[in-house]
Amino acid sequence: MKTLAVKLIPFALALSSLTGWAQSPGSPPQPGGQPQPVQANLNLIIAQVQKAALATNGDLGKLRIEKWKTDSDQKDQLQKMSDSIQRNLTNAVPGLISDVQNSRGNVSAAFKLYHNITIVYEYLT
């Protein structure tokens, strides 16, 4: 489980930078350097999110919770959590990613994805 949490740390950090997308094209550049194109940053972050989601989902699938040495109630609870996270990563995250890509910098769509990933991270830790 710790490796899953370690994989999601860059995932959460990448999403935390999503709030910088909303700079409009007519706004002045940030002091201290040239602003990077919004779409390039967005595509890089989305690629990192997709990669981490796929890796995490695969790692969760390889857990053999039923073989862990603990009581059956805890095994059942952990298996339900694992299944729930896998469903989230399989069903919700791709739709949220699509919403972010189609929103063209809308902070609301980015926040929904960020919030979802934060919840996944909290369950994994």
Residue-wise pLDDT for 46-85, tens only, equals 899 999 999 999 999 999 998 899 999 999 999 999 999 9
Largest distance between two CA atoms of the chain: 60
pTM of the model: 0.66
Which residues have C-beta within 8 Å of that of residue 66, sequence separation ≥ 6? Answer: 75, 79
The three-state (H, E, C) secondary structure of 70-93, written as one string:
CCHHHHHHHHHHHHHHHHHHHHHH
Confidence of residue 24 (pLDDT cuts 50, 70, 90): very low
**Residue 85, token pair as written in the block:** 């996270």
